[in-house]
Structure 1
Amino acid sequence: MIFNNQVYQYVNRDEKDRIRIIELDDSIVYYVELHGDTAMPKKISSATIEAEVQGEVLIAISDPYFKSYAEKDLSEKQIKKRDKDWQVVSTYWNVYKESLLEKKRREDAFEKIAAETNLSKLKLKRIFTRFWQRGLNKNALLPDYIHSGGKGKEKLLSGKKIGRPRKLNVADDMKQGINITEEVKKQFAYVIKKYYRRKNQVTLKETYDYLLKEFYSNSYIENNIVKFKIYDSSRIPTYNQFYYWFKKHEDPQLDIVLRTSSKEYDLKHRPILNNSTNETDGPGTRFQIDSTIADIYLVSSFDRTLIIGRPIIYAVIDVYSRMIAGIYVGLEGPSWVGAMMALDNMAADKVEFCKEYNIDINVSQWPVKHLPEIIIADRGEFEGYSVENLINNLNIKIENTSAYRGDLKGIVERQFHTINGKIKRKAPGAIQKEYRERGDRDYRLDANLNLDEFIKIVIHLVLQHNQKVIEKYPLEKGMVASGLTATPLNLWNWGIANKKGRLRMITDRNVFRLNLLPRGNARITRAGIRFKSLFYGSDTALNEQWYTKYKNISIEVLYDPRDMSYIYIPHADGKSYDSCYLLSTSEQYQGDTLEEIEFYQEMINELKLVQVAEQHESAINTDAVIEEIVKCAMREKRKVEQKEINKSEKLKNIRNNREAEKVVNRKEERFDLTSSFVETRAKLIDLSTNQKNDEAKPRSNSRLMEKLRKKRDEEFEKK
């Protein structure tokens, strides 16, 4: 089957012989060649191109322009040029589509567009060629100098004033003002936050006056009134400089919310992306996505005595056929991460997905693995960074419903009601009623399903839904004539065969995931790249000596919360990345989900708190025992202490005293392995007493050693 926006290449030809399908119309296929700066659409019969594909003359290849560009990485000039060209394409492509696709009517269409836009026909042809060749999306119109120059880098300041010299210098003193250093930028940010972003709605010029008053003036008192004298013009930033840096770091949404209110922003300034119509043109025109909290409590996968709460279910449903296109069941609360997982499952091969849970199906049971043209969603998850990637890189339109308007996504909401109803009747641990009366059994205690087991149940419910007859489905005449039964599978297959639709295949799953994966900040340390309290290593980081050169630097990474074995560092080209693996210090978490890792870490922290209390108690008791031993020793010392011996006498014979003590200890500590061995304790010689009795005699270390030897010989003879 030929898919819209698919790229093909003719085999055994030059690499330039690549084409992109830009429109499908019944039996005609329109395509454009991917080389040349003014490549115009050509047409061919669908039978011919299908024959070439089946004969492997024409082979589907990965889209060479399928990339992930972050909006924040684009310069103002790039965005301005892209948006200007996109205004032309978005305005006239749908209006003149039939004429632009046909060679005979194309020139007249370009002349009409040129007259309305004041652009030359050559310029228009180049704009539309870039749009057709590079993926039929907004970012296809980005200029090719995306990686040229010093994007995002600010000029290094020196003593000399940078920027355009002043045109008028009244004093003719050649003074040109000041450079905007980091300190001056902090001053700008301070006054904007303090004065501009307030409900009294101070103007930007008034905010500039407050800047001069706060940082560039001297105060003085005149008639008991504090007044201010502004510095010389060569020592202050100009209003143009202040305005430039304000616009460079402007946050319009934050400014409007803080200066007026969030309601004012939502009413008059928010992007209008939602569309109330639900008309579809076949499978893949519109998908609905939503989430719900399942009415069941689950237990831990590693200890069934631990209740982990209620799981989240995300579902993506095709509006035309009611086919469930993707699901996610997990513990990730309603957020972009959960929606990202559902969107990834939407484009996944369902046969392989089911096989992960030991469920064998064939392609005909769940054939969906495509991207839609439009996604209808809540405002919460789909108002962030990754949504810009879906819009600009994948050309998926996002229609956000209003708050508390679940009826605008009635199809997916109805399916959640069906799933929860089945769970309540079949699964233990399900919520039977909202409020329990006194004496009722707590249904949470009946929970015995873990997350994997619950996912299997949901998969079987999805497979059942795809074959279930849909009541009150508005069948078309062609469906009735063909005797169609209104099941999601039948409607999907009939729609593909008889309707246009806007289904697209994913050629590179990894690049698709670059547009979906959540982003976070990791830090480079000597112990590795630290992220979520785990440590990762990278071959690139090791080879380029990141751990010493860029220590404590923060970097942006992509991660999959379902498996934290790897994180990814994206490259600027939007297509490649570096993989980072767990180091040995964190290898125990190999294959674990982010939820499990956070759960383990919480348990470890709780155990540490208990252990810390025990350690404090042990330390206190040990100190008490040591202090008691020391006190006893001091008491014994005071009993035998000879006050008449001076300090020098005590210190003089330390070595000899040690030798004498060693001889006595050896007598007690020696091993005697003979059978007649009888353990006897050595008699202690009270040296202090002997010394007292022999005060008049000179102390001789040799005599002391002689007595010890004699005593040792006597003991030996007794044995």
Structure 2
Amino acid sequence: MIYINQVMQSMKDSTRIRVVEIKESYLYTVNIDANTSMPKKELFTSFLTDIEQKEWLIIADPFARIIEEKDLSDIQIQKRDLDWAVIQKHCLPYINELLQKNGRETKIKEISTEIGVTPTKVKKLLSRYWQRGMNKNAMLPDYANSGGRGKSKNLNVDKVGRPRKLTVDGEYRSGINITEEIKLQFEHAINKYYRKGNGYSLKDVYHFILRDFYSDRYKENGDIQYRIWESNRIPSYQQFYYWFKKLEDPKKDITFRKSTKEYELKHRPILSNSKVETNGPGTRFQIDATIADIYLVSGIDANRIIGRPVIYAIVDVYSRIVTGIYVGLEGPSWMGAMMALDNMVTDKVEFCKQYNIDITEEQWPTHHLPEIIIADRGEFEGYAVAGLINNLNIKIENTTAYRGDLKGIVERKFRTINGKVKQKAPGAIQKEYRERGDKDYRLDATVNLKEFTALVITMILQHNHKVIDKYPMEKEMITDRIVPTPISLWNWGIQNRKGRLRTIDRNILRLNVLPRGKATVSRAGIKFKNLLYGSKRAIEEQWYTKLKNKSVSIVYDPRHLDRIYIPNDDGLDYETCILLEPSEQYKTDFLEDIVFYQQLRNELEEEERSRQVQLTINADTMMEQIIKSAKEKKKNTLYKPASKKEKLDAIRDNKEKEKQINRQEEKFDLSPSLKSEDVEIIDFATKKKIEEQPAKKGTSRLMEKLKRKRDEELGKDK
């Protein structure tokens, strides 16, 4: 409930207000920290909702003190009484008008005229009255220095609980009772300060509580300062700590102060184990990836360091046997996970032969599909898993964020592998940070990718026959004298437990785990990533004419796009499409390379288009100039036909004459051009040099003759 004279503090910006009046469905509040503050009208129900939602907290009245007259100076008493008389005589009779915003300024001016002061003085008196508790002592000029600081005060309500042992000036400090409002203040401070990543201690949070709720605020040099109240008006640290332990929520505290990952990995209750949710081999497989703690060298040149490899492993939850691995440079990504899934259904005898390791099927008997795969959210949340779910009936369970412990079995296996690598292999990471002068372990890299894969296979074969510590054995296993090794548990589970083992053709699995896309059938071929493909079936069924501009679903391997595959509706067969001649130049390229070439081409064309715009503008301008010049020339021509009919009838003759002129100008002259020399012409009679009249520049006698003939013809027409 809300009461008159109640003080509240905003949780958003720590603004403190006092309720000065409640009328019908409205209440009026003032800001107690402002220099002057006039009442603000609020809707009662709306404000009550804000309190229930803890946007406002009820706090102790910072001006509620018991002040004895003997502790006040004569000046303070005189000033208080004078100002209180003004409030009683000139303001309280008009309090309803002063609460309302409309008309308030007019009424304040009337009061200021009546008592002979400025309107600002009246506002200050009213503000002090409303802000400091609406009583006589509210008009004291300075609370901060009044009240007999350092002397013990008596509260109206006796303090509950055990008395404090510490005394000041020989008197007990009784403190305050912890009310529901104070508990809300504690809870707010814990959420705001303690449950944050700043790492504040409980002492820090207690100090923040005193600053926010139990202090006087004042300005010094333009900055807000805080003066903490006397000890008998504030809760003690012991009281705060007591209620903190009652309000404590370890999950919230660790989650907000550290992280969700920290809680889930290190503080979450462990009440079960992974095996509980399985009923035999093949029920659940866990898959995960890690970057190995070793640097490898190239298989072509041992002096070239190629970095650290990625290890993908798939482990059966029931037996702990490793069912699939991938050691390579792909990932962590769907590509690496896809390779591990491919190895999961591979005959391990043939797989080990590739690395010169001879085993029998009994040493590594896994080549099966599981019922469920537990995976990370990253690789197994994309569209590529749809084939596993829809066609192979494998359920995918993605772990929640920061819950790597849900794949604890396979992650423990990674720790074992990395530990062995550090002990044995050169080039392994020995410590996270090298100090100055330490040898760079990367320079010791010796093992290539194939050799490191052989090392991983050797460790997995050892793991499959190693006793598992703390395995939750069943009574039947003990009766059958089973030692908890992965191989023994796998074989015993197949015979005695239901399990979910299935086998599948390796190519069908590949068809369902490869990335999927859409290709378009056109007259030019089957188009995918701007590459053109063709197939025997497409030709026989005349796709290029019947299915023109229709899209088809395809699967592809991004590592080589010389082939794509169109799966059949049952997901158990496919049509192979090969690159057509226009796209064969890309047959050895990765998808990333092809995309790069296409993007580069688009960028070059885009740059050229901007230049083409300028060329077009230039060409248009030049064309306009040529046309303009032709129009001007037409206006100035001497020949002007008498009528439109005469002009049209002369077209054929004009064309013939123009043709003769053009032929003379366009004719080929293959004879070598000779440089003409100047000669002198002598008159035999006078023995003097005859000056030759030069011909017009750029013309010949024949041209002059033809032009004269044309002019004569035109003269006849006139």
TM-score range normalised by the length of the shorter chain? 0.3 to 0.5
Q: TM-score, normalised by structure 2?
A: 0.43
The one of the two structures with greater contact order (alpha-carbon pairs below 8 A, sep at least 6) is 1
Q: TM-score, normalised by structure 1?
A: 0.43
Structure ID, larger Rg: 2
